[in-house]
């Protein structure tokens, strides 16, 4: 496990599609722990505006079970993508590598919370702008997974595109926190 500063540096390089970082993340078996950390932080960031603005008795339950639901949706979507790549496209990939790539990609969800936070507290951003921001971030996630599969695992372009689309479909379909903003 790396320090928080190193994980942040790797995340910044990952979302810029740095090929060396993509290969480092995909080849290191211990990056899946960092990916779990990034996923939990990005899911918590989705609930951060809710924590600051809503006063209910069961807020801790809502946040805890929402983060747990989002984490299980991420693991389920990663397993679905791994199954598609390994069984349908007959590629040999390590599940830890897939989880690391999708976990780092899931960190982009935290940018959605910035838009929601600005909209909730400053009210000068229209909800359509938040929806466009969300679609843009999901497209960025699609590109990050596609580029990672192409450059780090040397998977064909069409197979990488289909696999990343399946991942995004499954995670949007099963994740409660992402359904809230999408």
Contact 175, 78 (CB under 8 A): no
pTM: 0.90
Q: What is the pLDDT of residue 150?
A: 93
> What is the C-alpha separation between 76 and 37, in angstroms, rounded?
17
pLDDT digits (tens, 9 = 90+) for 154-172: 999 999 999 999 999 999 9
Domain containing residue 141:
4-181
Q: What is the pLDDT of residue 14?
A: 93
Number of domains observed in the structure of the chain: 1
Number of CB atoms found within 10 A of residue 46's CB: 23
Q: What is the mean pLDDT of residues 129-149?
A: 92
pLDDT digits (tens, 9 = 90+) for 77-100: 999 999 999 999 998 888 999 999
Sign of CA dihedral 129, 135, 140, 143: negative
Q: In the predicted model, is pLDDT for residue 73 greater than 90?
A: yes
End-to-end CA distance of the chain: 32
12-34: average pLDDT: 89
With cut-offs at 50, 70 and 90, classify the pLDDT of residue 181.
Answer: low
- Least confident span in 18-22, 49-53, 86-90, 145-149: 49-53
Q: Is the pLDDT of residue 120 over 80?
A: no
Nearest to 104 by CA among 42, 45, 169: 42
Q: Is 41 helix (H, G, I), strand (E, B) or coil?
A: helix
**91 near 156, Cβ under 8 Å?**
no
């Amino acid at each position: 496990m790396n320090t928080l500063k190193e994980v942040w540096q790797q995340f910044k390089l990952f979302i810029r599609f740095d090929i060396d970082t993509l290969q480092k993340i995909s080849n290191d078996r211990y990056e899946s722990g960092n990916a779990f950390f990034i996923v939990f932080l990005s899911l918590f960031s989705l609930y951060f505006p809710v924590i600051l603005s809503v006063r209910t008795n069961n807020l801790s339950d809502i946040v805890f079970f929402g983060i747990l639901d989002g984490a299980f949706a991420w693991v389920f979507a990663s397993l679905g993508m791994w199954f598609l790549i390994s069984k349908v496209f007959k590629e040999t990939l390590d599940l830890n590598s897939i989880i690391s790539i999708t976990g780092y990609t899931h960190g982009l969800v935290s940018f959605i919370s910035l838009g929601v936070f600005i909209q909730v507290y400053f009210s000068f951003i229209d909800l359509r702008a938040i929806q466009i921001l969300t679609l843009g971030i999901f497209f960025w996630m699609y590109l990050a997974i596609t580029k990672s599969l192409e450059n780090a695992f040397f998977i064909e372009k069409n197979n990488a595109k289909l696999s990343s689309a399946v991942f995004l479909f499954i995670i949007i379909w099963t994740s409660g926190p992402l359904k809230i903003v999408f």
